[in-house]
Structure 1
């Protein structure tokens, strides 16, 4: 069940005319050990876009180092559907890198990153195309119901959006994943960004352009299991916050001032007790608490600095985001 919601733009949009030739729409689909789902995904998309004279779908599957039969199944599907392109990466580089590779290889006038597990319904894409024809450059898929996710995943996602949007700029739309339609101009802008440590949700928000969204309820996976565990989600959140905000570094400046001020006030209190009342404060327990507390703060602060320094170090190497082993075209 879906509903549409798009705010009126600040200025009138230029409607894109209907083309004499079919609109070329590229689906960018990162896959990692998704042998159970790729055929189901293609079948569903083919049902949605049964009329090739209206929209011509280009599939860009990015095989992110799969260890199962995903690549073999994709090659079999390519024999039947010539519009399938397969970008086979040399190893598992992660979803952000795979997504970057797919955007680089997509040739369509509009591009839609989408998960192969069908939790992002392909049936929404024609509505996205309609919004694009109205003049919007980006059409987001906004999740209004995440009942298919676990409680822990929903809670952690909510906290991440709140913290990130409080300290980072630009803000990331809440409950919006990678599923969106983007005009060719937007994709070209993303491809021009030079960084190798890529947090795609942040980059999508950073480039801007005229944006609207449609609401949908996210269903369960059709098959297989999610490749994101708690540890990977935690690292993903750290990547997002440190990529678009320096506030964690500023926090330690203010925390250091607060701790120093507290220590100064406590020292004055001790002096007053000794001078006025002749009370000597036993030192061992308070000293150990102070040492361990300040030591812990220092280690955490060093850890925060390390996160930024490590990312700067990796970025300075200028290694490519991914390496392509081979691109399989239909005629291969």
Structure 2
């Protein structure tokens, strides 16, 4: 009988663990052996305690866990689940129950029909804020343009991966992980399923505006060097206009007796060019920082306890 792992990154989700487990049990999937692997991402509450309370073996479902020594992040937790899987397929989903477990049989059905990657596309309802809906759209448009990838708008980390896909992902040891991009970039036969996220019934979202911005930055800089190209082009454009203005100033100095000097225009120009230089240095710094961290060769995560 084939094995399917369900990998669930969990950070401060003590109130959702039991509910998620019970909903997966109710699916009553007898065709495969299921193993539910929780990745405790350095939770500060009783998440790990709630995981350990679950029955270790129920008919058709085994519970396992990996506990990090500290919080390493959602994408790293997903990667740890893949690294420790030897299953025929892996389903990844969040512990907050916004990814409906009832969709799992459909993911498996598409896999049985021949798909090697079955990913889900989030369809937000009217309760999602205008800000979140539009910033997400801008992010995907910008990422696809800069990286050359075609990541579907609303693509989520709720997906099924075939064993051959998992083996391919295990070869990637990047420090700044953006698994949605990797899953798109590696190829294989893909199919998608739309879903409407459920409302969170317990706890709060772990993705603040700051974390979403950093996540987007990781996604763009992990798959594209076009920001460096834009920095170069913009620098050349500014140099051109600065040179043209210098020539103009020299001509006016020798041909006109009414040269008007103004500190405001000089100050504005200096501040503008200085701001552009800082932005360009920041872009370069992002890439150099990633190279520096990658060159150290440190592990992506440390495990304090596991039962897999």
**Same fold by TM-score greater than 0.5:** yes
Q: Deviations over 1:192-246 (max 9, x none)?
A: 1132221111111111100011112222113211111111111111111111111
Mapped pair 1:63 → 2:6: no
Residue matched to 1:141: 120
Residue matched to 2:55: 78
Contact 1:242 1:308 in 2 (8 A): yes
User: What TM-score, normalized to structure 1?
Assistant: 0.88
Contact 2:7 2:78 in 1 (8 A): yes
Mapped pair 1:193 → 2:163: no
Secondary structure of residue in 2 paired with 1:145: coil
User: What TM-score, normalized to structure 2?
Assistant: 0.94
Contact 1:148 1:220 in 2 (8 A): no
Could you tell me which of 158, 180, 195 is aligned with 1:216?
195
Could you tell me which of 232, 241, 250 is aligned with 2:211?
232
Contact 1:148 1:219 in 2 (8 A): no
Give unmatched runs, 5+ long, in structure 2.
none
Taking the aligned partners of 2:124 and 2:212, their CA distance within structure 1 comes to 20
Taking the aligned partners of 2:254 and 2:296, their CA distance within structure 1 comes to 60
Shift of 1:297: 1.2
Could you tell me which of 17, 22, 26 is aligned with 1:38?
17
Contact 2:56 2:62 in 1 (8 A): no
Shift of 1:283: 4.3
Shift of 1:120: 1.2
Residue matched to 1:279: 258
| Gap change, CA 1:194 and 1:51, over 3 Å in 2 | closer
Could you tell me which of 306, 311, 315 is aligned with 2:290?
311
Q: Give the ranges of 4+ consecutive aligned residues of structure 1 lying more than 6 Å apart after TM superposition.
A: none
Contact 1:97 1:321 in 2 (8 A): yes
Taking the aligned partners of 1:148 and 1:45, their CA distance within structure 2 comes to 26
Contact 1:87 1:327 in 2 (8 A): yes
| Gap change, CA 1:181 and 1:232, over 3 Å in 2 | same
Taking the aligned partners of 1:236 and 1:112, their CA distance within structure 2 comes to 22
Secondary structure of residue in 2 paired with 1:282: coil
Secondary structure of residue in 1 paired with 2:143: helix
Count of paired positions: 306
| Gap change, CA 1:148 and 1:85, over 3 Å in 2 | farther
| Gap change, CA 1:252 and 1:56, over 3 Å in 2 | same
Secondary structure of residue in 2 paired with 1:120: coil
Residue matched to 1:4: none
> Over aligned residues, Cα RMSD in angstroms?
1.6
